[in-house]
């Protein structure tokens, strides 16, 4: 089984382009937000987009419910797809899905920037942030039968490959929806709670660091986080801070559904080892 990942922040158009990627690469199965999709049909699973809250949606997307997971495992075992496309907000999320469904980790990771222009991504984010619109990459009739949530309209879209790829345009019937958890604005996580999440993340993953200041702001496009840290003396500061930046952004996105629009980290002090 060959597994490919398509990753990018929430709302950047991964589901919208999943059919194009699958058709161009001859992929048998798409795993997207808790659904298994083959041949433009939902073959099993239930959508994260029908959950009442973002946190429940994330758990569904990660197949954390045992019944949901076992159903997906059964379909994969019976049909033995030769190739799979897994969608996620980060490589870490995709690896967790692969582990839960007992399939190999991705051999190749595609970033949304590889298949969508900056303008297309900006438009997708606007649709998500302003209107709460999501896409399920199957026709509306299929969604009506298997995902009982608020439908907006059917989409028929054509994708033209970006240079240097040379192939025919891909037509796809898709469904535009508005999940219950968007509201719009029915989900709210207080800033002190986000601050506590950051503190717990650092304590668990980087216990030798000391947080000196957290500055947090939020807007329609997500949260803006500035973090000042005292770092261990003698360590490669630039490498460590880049690592913290990536992992903290992914953790907030995966476990809360929060879009991290900006995360700036500054080394503002040193932590010296205690001499015995």
Same domain membership, residue 164 and residue 65: yes
The predicted pLDDT at position 75 comes to 95
End residue of a domain, out of 154, 177, 200 = 177
Residue 69 scores a pLDDT above 90 = yes
The predicted pLDDT at position 116 comes to 85
Q: The domain that contains 135 carries what CATH number?
A: 3.40.50
Same domain membership, residue 147 and residue 248: no
More confident residue, 48 or 129: 48
Q: The domain that contains 227 carries what CATH number?
A: 3.30.70.1350
The predicted pLDDT at position 150 comes to 45
End residue of a domain, out of 144, 177, 210 = 177
User: Would you say residue 183 lies in a domain?
Assistant: no
Reported as a single tens digit per residue, the pLDDT across 112-142 is 998 888 888 887 777 666 555 655 555 444 4
pTM of the model: 0.57
Same domain membership, residue 234 and residue 103: no
Domain count, the chain: 2
Reported as a single tens digit per residue, the pLDDT across 98-118 is 999 999 999 999 999 988 888
Same domain membership, residue 154 and residue 18: yes
Buried b (16+ CB within 10 A) or exposed e, 31-60: bbbbbbbbebebbbbbbbbbbeebebbbbb
Residue 7: helix, strand or coil by DSSP?
strand
Task: Report the relative pairing of strands 134-136 and 170-177 from DSSP bridges.
Answer: antiparallel
User: Would you say residue 182 lies in a domain?
Assistant: no
Average pLDDT, the chain: 77
| Residues in CB range of 145: below 8 A, 6 or more apart | none
Same domain membership, residue 150 and residue 22: yes
User: What residues make up the domain containing 233?
Assistant: 191-271
Residue 74 scores a pLDDT above 90 = yes
Same domain membership, residue 128 and residue 15: yes
Reported as a single tens digit per residue, the pLDDT across 163-210 is 444 445 444 454 545 555 554 444 445 667 778 888 888 999 999 999
Residue 133: helix, strand or coil by DSSP?
coil
């Amino acid at each position: 089984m060959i597994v490919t990942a398509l990753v990018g922040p929430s709302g950047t158009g991964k589901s919208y382009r999943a059919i194009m990627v699958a058709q161009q690469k001859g992929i048998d199965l798409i795993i997207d937000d808790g659904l298994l999709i083959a041949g433009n049909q939902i073959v099993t699973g239930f959508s994260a987009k029908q959950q009442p809250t973002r946190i429940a949606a994330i758990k569904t997307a990660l197949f954390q419910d045992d019944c949901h997971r076992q159903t997906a495992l059964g379909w994969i075992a019976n049909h033995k797809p030769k190739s799979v496309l897994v969608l996620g907000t980060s490589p870490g999320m995709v690896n967790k899905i692969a582990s839960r469904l007992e399939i190999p980790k991705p051999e190749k990771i595609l970033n949304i920037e590889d298949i969508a222009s900056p303008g297309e991504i900006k438009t997708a984010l606007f649709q998500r942030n302003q209107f709460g619109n999501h896409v399920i990459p199957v026709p509306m009739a299929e969604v009506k039968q298997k995902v009982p949530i608020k439908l907006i309209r059917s989409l028929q879209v054509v994708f033209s490959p970006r240079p240097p790829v040379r192939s025919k345009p891909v037509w796809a019937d898709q469904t535009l929806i508005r999940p219950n958890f968007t509201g719009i604005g029915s989900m709210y996580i207080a800033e002190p709670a986000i601050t506590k999440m950051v503190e717990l993340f650092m304590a668990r993953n980087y216990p030798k660091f000391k947080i000196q200041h957290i500055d947090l702001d939020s807007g329609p496009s997500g949260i803006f986080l500035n973090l000042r840290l005292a770092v261990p003396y003698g360590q490669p500061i630039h490498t460590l801070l880049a690592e913290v930046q990536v992992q903290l952004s992914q953790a907030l996105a995966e476990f809360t559904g929060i879009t991290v629009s900006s995360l700036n980290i500054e080394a503002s002090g040193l932590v010296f080892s205690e001499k015995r």
